[in-house]
């Protein structure tokens, strides 16, 4: 089965309202901070396996949850700003 060049990319980046638009957009600082917090969760969990202190494990899980909330909040703000920009 042959695809013309860029056909899949055009299909993925469509904005017809059927699906959530998947495309390229600039990340905000809030989204990047959320990603860093989630990554620190994984690093903390990896390091917590080598220590005897279980508190590190719970702190790492807490960082991951906070990172996820921050990332979702940043995505919501960014999406809302892009929609407001499109309306104007």
Return the biggest CA–CA distance within the chain: 56
Three-class SS state of 70: helix
Average pLDDT of the segment spanning 32-53 = 88
The pLDDT confidence band at residue 71, using thresholds 50, 70 and 90, is: very high
What residue segments make up the domains of the chain, in order of their start? 28-87
Q: Is the pLDDT of residue 44 over 80?
A: yes
Q: Is the pLDDT of residue 46 over 80?
A: yes
Tokens of 52: 């005897």
Neighbours of 41 (CB within 10 A): 20
What was the pLDDT predicted at 20? 53
Provide the whole-model pTM: 0.65
Q: Is the pLDDT of residue 51 over 70?
A: yes
């Amino acid at each position: 089965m042959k695809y013309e060049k860029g056909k899949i990319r055009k299909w993925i980046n469509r904005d017809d309202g059927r699906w959530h638009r998947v495309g390229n957009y600039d990340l905000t600082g809030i989204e990047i901070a959320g990603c860093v917090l989630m990554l620190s969760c994984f690093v903390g969990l990896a390091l917590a396996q080598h220590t005897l202190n279980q508190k590190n494990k719970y702190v790492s899980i807490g960082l991951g949850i906070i990172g996820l909330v921050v990332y979702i909040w940043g995505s919501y703000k960014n999406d809302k700003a892009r929609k407001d920009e499109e309306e104007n």
